[in-house]
């Protein structure tokens, strides 16, 4: 009888921890819902909470296994000992603290990305110094610590008093309920062992609702274990020959040919080669919505707004993904986003056919200039092993740094460094290709005081305006240089400032500017051709009339202006915008079709009926890109 009562008490203790865990996760879900209240239909909320409960149960059955084993293996005569009471109380307190920590972390992540934990959170895990430093510099951490401490105390004291009063009793709830709970605890995990939570988080047409119904911790571990998805296992495929035929037709105006299953094009311009210098400026999180040309009314980009009137501007241009590494991948490799991690972060990514490799063949000084630590996101290895000389934070002298935060050196200092490097190349009588990634428009959004009318640490608006200020100062000096009149300046974003939306791929949130500025070389005008980041490399090289054999999957937006597509992706969702038609492919064969309103920059999406030819074209692009990478036929050595 004593053993049965002891077991009853053990299970009831587990049940108490479960209640804390369950209410904590439900509270997180409610807070996140309130953060995006206007984006979620009230009619979805009951189903969101029910599905959320299911996903929390799945997480609990993994989270609670160590505790369950501990209690079941604990001798019966230990159940009433004080040491066991204190261990149990500490575990309960840890559960409270962990749930609060998880809630605060998810709230911060949701505020930045509009999603539960995903592959982005996994990507940031190795960079604890940068992540913690960014959080400390971005938020009022003493107040957050105080709030967490007060909330934990409010819960901990009643929990301690309750446990102390109940500990001498043999049960907290009636014994008839213990055995069903115990049986379910071991049966359900077996049934759910192979559950892929993707099946149950695609219940709504609204992506916010799907995200809220999920469980952040489960998603975090799921993303960790699936950092690369095999395209053929998860997405629609067509015959290899059919895919090659589709891509040949897509690229026919640039004389493609197929050689050993690799689509190549002999680029042989009739005009004379032009060895222009190139400043390739990739601006962190520069959404098109900031610029006046796209309806921006905040006045955050006065220098870029003026520059646009003197430049070639592409008005329907889109990012490949939602991460910096996706932008770097597309701009350099001209490759659609394959599912999983960016190639920038994958092993064996050296000696690939890329934009820097082409410039190297034409005897350019080829540099990647980044004012942060280039080990972040594996950028140092990727660029240095693909033809670039990497110039990062470690290459700056103290006298060259006006301001720095945890993320890196301010854009103004970085541009001054890049100008010195351009001068060095000019003095050596060598053309240069300087590929730059800015950092100031990134949390914590801090920069030198007194240079713009928005105080440092004000938020993203300040980061945008300071980046614009630095670009303005850069051009003031660049125009005085002897190499200026023989230089093309490319300005493009790595991605937009937000990827959150009701659709898995909200087209509006992928819209970014592409600007070519070169007075006397390129005529100022607006171009409405649809394009994406994979098209920038062939377009730039086309302006210079370079003769080369291309393996790029992008196309020249100027010399081949018709029939372009934009390829848009996330970690697992792959999309293709073809005219005003959008198809989105997700794992487990989930396909969505939309008609996109291209008449404004809002790009409203309306669901439409399936389109087989559209799906086949998207499949051709993505399965070929995946095969090209896995076959190692992107290698140049």
With respect to residue 402, please indicate whether it lies within any of the assigned structural domains. yes
Of 225, 253, 284, which residue sits at a domain end?
225
Which of 162-166, 493-497, 608-612 is least confident? Answer: 162-166
- Residues 117 and 45: beta-carbon distance below 8 Å: no
With respect to residue 102, please indicate whether it lies within any of the assigned structural domains. yes
For residue 178, the model assigns a pLDDT of 46
Which of 178-187, 227-236, 493-502 is least confident? Answer: 178-187
With respect to residue 230, please indicate whether it lies within any of the assigned structural domains. no
Across 572-590, average pLDDT: 90
pLDDT category of residue 185 using cuts at 50, 70 and 90: low
- Residues 300 and 468: beta-carbon distance below 8 Å: yes
Query: Does residue 175 register a pLDDT over 60?
Result: no
* C-beta contacts of 154-158 below 8 A and 24+ residues apart: 155/96, 156/93, 156/96
What are the pLDDT digits (tens) for 107-142?
777 776 666 776 666 665 555 565 566 565 666 667
One domain for residues 323 and 216: no
With respect to residue 528, please indicate whether it lies within any of the assigned structural domains. yes
One domain for residues 46 and 157: yes
One domain for residues 54 and 170: yes
- Overall number of domains in the chain: 2
- Comparing 69 with 478, the larger pLDDT belongs to 478
With respect to residue 627, please indicate whether it lies within any of the assigned structural domains. no
For residue 192, the model assigns a pLDDT of 52
What are the pLDDT digits (tens) for 615-634?
999 999 999 999 999 888 89
Here the tokens at position 4 are: 């049965």
With respect to residue 250, please indicate whether it lies within any of the assigned structural domains. no
Of 509, 534, 553, which residue sits at a domain end?
553
pTM of the predicted model, to two decimals?
Answer: 0.77
One domain for residues 203 and 282: no
Of 553, 580, 605, which residue sits at a domain end?
553
One domain for residues 401 and 522: yes
With respect to residue 178, please indicate whether it lies within any of the assigned structural domains. yes
Question: Under 8 Å CB-to-CB from 457, ≥6 apart: which residues?
Answer: 137, 138, 444, 445, 446
**Which domain, by its residues, includes 472?**
275-553
One domain for residues 439 and 514: yes
Query: Does residue 304 register a pLDDT over 80?
Result: yes
Question: HSE on the CB side for 309, CA within 13 Å?
Answer: 6
Instruction: For residues 195 and 189, give the distance between their C-alpha atoms in angstroms, rounded to a whole number.
Output: 10
Query: Does residue 51 register a pLDDT over 90?
Result: no
Here the tokens at position 104 are: 């605060």
One domain for residues 217 and 289: no
Q: How far is CA 221 from CA 20, 217, 218, 455, in A?
A: 21, 7, 5, 38
Here the tokens at position 82 are: 């004080």
One domain for residues 174 and 30: yes
With respect to residue 168, please indicate whether it lies within any of the assigned structural domains. yes
One domain for residues 524 and 417: yes
One domain for residues 281 and 164: no
One domain for residues 210 and 328: no
One domain for residues 290 and 394: yes
What are the pLDDT digits (tens) for 382-431?
999 999 999 999 999 999 999 998 889 999 999 999 999 999 999 999 99
Helix (H) or strand (E) holding 542: helix 536-543
The CATH number assigned to the domain holding 306 equals: 3.40.720.10
* C-beta contacts of 610-613 below 8 A and 24+ residues apart: 611/581, 611/583
């Amino acid at each position: 009888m004593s053993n049965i009562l002891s077991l009853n008490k053990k299970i009831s203790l587990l049940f108490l921890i479960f209640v804390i865990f369950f209410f904590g996760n439900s509270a997180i879900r409610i807070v996140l819902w309130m953060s995006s209240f206007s984006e979620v239909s009230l009619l979805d909320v009951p189903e969101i909470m029910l599905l959320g409960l299911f996903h929390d149960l799945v997480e609990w059955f993994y989270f609670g296994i160590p505790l369950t084993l501990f209690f079941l293996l604990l001798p019966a005569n230990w159940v009433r000992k004080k040491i066991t009471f204190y261990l149990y109380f500490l575990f309960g307190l840890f559960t409270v603290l962990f749930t609060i920590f998880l809630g605060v972390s998810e709230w911060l992540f949701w505020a930045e990305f509009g999603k539960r934990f995903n592959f982005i959170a996994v990507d940031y895990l190795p960079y604890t110094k940068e992540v913690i430093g960014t959080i400390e510099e971005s938020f009022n951490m003493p107040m957050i610590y105080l709030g967490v401490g007060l909330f934990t105390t409010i819960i901990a004291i009643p929990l301690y008093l309750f446990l102390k009063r109940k500990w001498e009793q043999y049960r907290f709830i009636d014994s008839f309920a213990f055995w069903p709970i115990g049986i379910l605890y071991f049966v359900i995990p077996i049934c759910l062992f192979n559950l892929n939570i993707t099946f149950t988080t695609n219940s709504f047409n609204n992506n916010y609702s799907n995200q809220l119904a999920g469980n952040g911790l489960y998603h975090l571990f799921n993303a960790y274990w699936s950092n690369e998805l095999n395209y053929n296992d998860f997405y629609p495929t067509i015959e290899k020959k059919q895919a090659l035929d589709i891509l040949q037709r897509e690229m026919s105006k640039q004389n493609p040919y197929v050689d050993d299953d690799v689509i190549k094009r002999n680029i042989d311009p009739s005009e004379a080669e032009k060895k222009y210098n190139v400043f390739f400026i990739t601006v962190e999180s520069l959404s098109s919505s900031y610029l006046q040309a796209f309806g921006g009314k905040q006045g955050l980009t006065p220098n870029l707004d003026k520059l646009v009137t003197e430049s070639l501007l592409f008005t329907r241009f889109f990012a490949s993904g939602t991460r910096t590494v996706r932008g770097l991948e597309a701009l350099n490799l001209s490759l659609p986003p394959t599912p999983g991690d960016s190639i920038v972060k994958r092993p064996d990514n050296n000696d690939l056919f890329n934009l820097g490799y082409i410039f190297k063949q034409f005897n350019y000084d080829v540099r990647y200039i980044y004012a942060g630590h280039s080990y972040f996101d594996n950028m140092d290895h990727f660029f240095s092993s693909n033809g670039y000389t990497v110039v990062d934070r470690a290459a700056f002298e103290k006298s060259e740094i006006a301001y720095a935060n945890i993320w890196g050196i301010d854009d103004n200092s970085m541009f001054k460094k890049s100008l010195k490097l351009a001068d060095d190349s000019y003095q050596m009588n060598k053309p240069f290709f300087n590929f730059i990634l800015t950092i100031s428009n990134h949390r914590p959004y801090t920069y030198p005081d007194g240079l713009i009318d928005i105080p440092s640490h004000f938020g993203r608006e300040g980061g945008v305006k300071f980046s614009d200020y630095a670009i303005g100062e850069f051009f003031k000096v660049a125009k005085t240089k002897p190499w200026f009149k023989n230089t093309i300046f490319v300005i493009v974003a790595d991605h937009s400032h937000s990827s959150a939306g009701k659709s898995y791929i909200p087209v509006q949130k992928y819209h970014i500017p592409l600007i070519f500025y070169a007075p006397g070389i390129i005529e100022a005008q607006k171009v409405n051709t649809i394009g994406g980041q994979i098209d920038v490399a062939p377009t730039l090289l086309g302006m210079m009339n370079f003769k080369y054999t291309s393996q790029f999957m992008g196309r020249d937006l100027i010399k081949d202006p018709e029939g372009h597509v934009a390829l848009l992706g996330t970690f697992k969702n792959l999309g293709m915008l073809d005219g005003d038609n959008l198809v989105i492919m997700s794992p487990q064969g989930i396909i969505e079709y939309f008609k996109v309103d291209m008449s404004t920059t809002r790009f409203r999406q309306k669901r439409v009926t399936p389109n087989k030819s559209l799906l086949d074209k998207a499949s051709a692009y993505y399965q070929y890109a995946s095969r090209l990478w896995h076959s190692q036929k992107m290698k140049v050595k």
